[in-house]
Structure 1
């Protein structure tokens, strides 16, 4: 898999993670163009870390990822270490996303990317935690990747849908 600047990143073999397609990744970064440099980025259900790696390559100041699979965390660390400069920070947190949110208490992020397994029950509880813990910065935006066959985006108290984009079976719903 390649990201911004034709850089090669490592991925897990098989179907343990479902990487965001190049088309969706490019579309997201075009939408957020000019808003990545210097931002604090949170990558939820980070998979192989392609979104966080892309954010680092585009100048994010800090990238934090949460991923459940240990093998994936090692790959994310490896990928992000290749792209982070000495001025950038990154951290990978291994564990269940709901339980690991406590490690983010008091922190806010300018951009959050949330891409859980499409058939998971994570959408509602994670969005609620983001609002109750005020993890999204006031002027920040959250993008949720989903398949509309399995989850329909809806307003969440404290989050407002600001746009939706559809790319085949993949949708991005943006909240502010």
Structure 2
């Protein structure tokens, strides 16, 4: 199935973001990540050189070449690694779309949404600040009423919003697409998702 035109799979509708069919061999995510990482790394290098020069020579000399260069190189490497993660996710999405059929039991793709502004646990690294309405996690379930025990969602000030319904692979594809879109917009996964699953 063509990821660009995946217009109708039961109740799942999706659109192709970024113009890629999800083919990881193109390396578009890695290349874009490397360029964006280099820009961010260069900016970090400029700031670091300003701070470094202020303390070492008593003045703010912004264009300290070695420090800026290290920032650009480091940022490009980190960006390329993040881009590789994105390329892998596109490839996984293509595999899920190929398996998506209209036959099978009904499952649901959901988002856990912050109910108030404040600190929420980040499953990868401590705490993160979210605003009311921010996504904490994307997931799938075949039983939304019993997915979370008792009052666990309200204890963490979260609510479950069902975003789509379909067969197992349709909901997994919908979840993967949400994770990719979030990653592209925020540079990381939602705080409640450990990996692109």
Q: Same fold (TM over 0.5)?
A: no
Q: TM-score range by the shorter chain?
A: under 0.3
* Alignment TM-score, normalising by the size of structure 1: 0.25
What's the TM-score, normalizing by structure 2? 0.24
Larger Rg: 2
- In proportion to residue count, which structure has more strand? 1
Would you tell me which structure has more helix in proportion to its own residues? 2
